[in-house]
């Protein structure tokens, strides 16, 4: 019996893929080299740059630090899966509108991270930049310091940070407006309620 490889199925961007991988294969390598989903980039391969960020069950994760076998049964979303068909995700559109990239190498990870950051903030999660983390203080406003802190796991060698912060702020405002018009509000402590 071969104990060094496993037959797994990965659910990526709503599609199920069956493949046999060496047990040491990272999710990043499986995505890029086995599934040809090369939008996710390999920067440091050590969990330090964020270029490989994907969403695992809706939460951001460095795919270079995840084993493909451990992703079985989980929902993986890569940059190829964040858009709604031909319609860009609002975060992608904001990166275009605000010039949030230069070479673009970090962009897929930045966008995936920002999608999750906006969700995390809307759910009331504090960050290291949050001055008052008591539940009764309610969610902090997503100001530049909060965005910088929450996006600090994503490095950009080109230094497009100023525009990235503007893009994330714009997409977050749009998401908040859409939640408001849908009657969805966040209570102190982060509980989301629907009117």
Query: Tokens 């992703």 identify what position?
Result: 71
Of these, 6, 19, 47, 173, which contacts ligand FES (CB under 6 A)?
47
Of these, 56, 106, 117, 147, which contacts ligand FES (CB under 6 A)?
106
Q: Is the dihedral of CA 193, 153, 106, 164 positive or negative?
A: positive
The bridge status of strand 184-186 relative to strand 192-194 is: antiparallel
Q: Does 157 bind ligand FES (CB under 6 A)?
A: yes
Reported in sequence order, the residue ranges of the chain that DSSP labels E, i.e. its strands, are 5-12, 15-22, 53-56, 59-62, 75-77, 184-186, 192-194
Of these, 31, 35, 37, 52, which contacts ligand FES (CB under 6 A)?
52
Q: Does 98 bind ligand FES (CB under 6 A)?
A: no
Q: Does 161 bind ligand FES (CB under 6 A)?
A: no
Q: Does 160 bind ligand FES (CB under 6 A)?
A: yes
Question: Which residue, 76 or 122, is less far from ligand FES as judged by CB?
Answer: 76
Q: Is the dihedral of CA 171, 172, 177, 179 positive or negative?
A: positive
Interface with ligand FES (CB under 6 A): 42-45, 47-52, 62, 64, 101-107, 156-158, 160
């Amino acid at each position: 019996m071969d104990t060094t490889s496993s037959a797994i199925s990965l659910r990526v961007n709503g599609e199920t893929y069956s493949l046999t991988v060496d047990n040491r294969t990272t999710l990043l390598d499986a995505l890029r080299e086995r599934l040809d989903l090369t939008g996710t980039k390999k920067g440091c391969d050590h969990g330090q740059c964020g270029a490989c960020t994907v969403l695992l069950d809706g939460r951001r994760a460095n795919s270079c630090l995840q084993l493909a076998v451990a992703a079985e049964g989980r929902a993986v979303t890569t940059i190829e899966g964040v858009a709604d068909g031909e319609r860009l995700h609002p975060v992608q559109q904001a990166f275009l509108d605000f010039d949030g990239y230069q070479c673009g190498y970090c962009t897929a990870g930045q966008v995936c991270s920002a999608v999750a950051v906006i969700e995390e903030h809307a759910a009331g999660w504090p960050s290291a930049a949050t001055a008052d983390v008591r539940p009764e203080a309610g969610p902090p406003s997503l100001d530049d310091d909060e965005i910088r802190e929450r996006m600090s796991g994503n490095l950009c060698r080109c230094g497009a940070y100023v525009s990235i912060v503007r893009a994330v702020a714009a997409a977050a405002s749009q998401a908040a407006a859409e939640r408001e018009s849908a009657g969805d509000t966040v209570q102190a402590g982060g509980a989301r309620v629907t009117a």
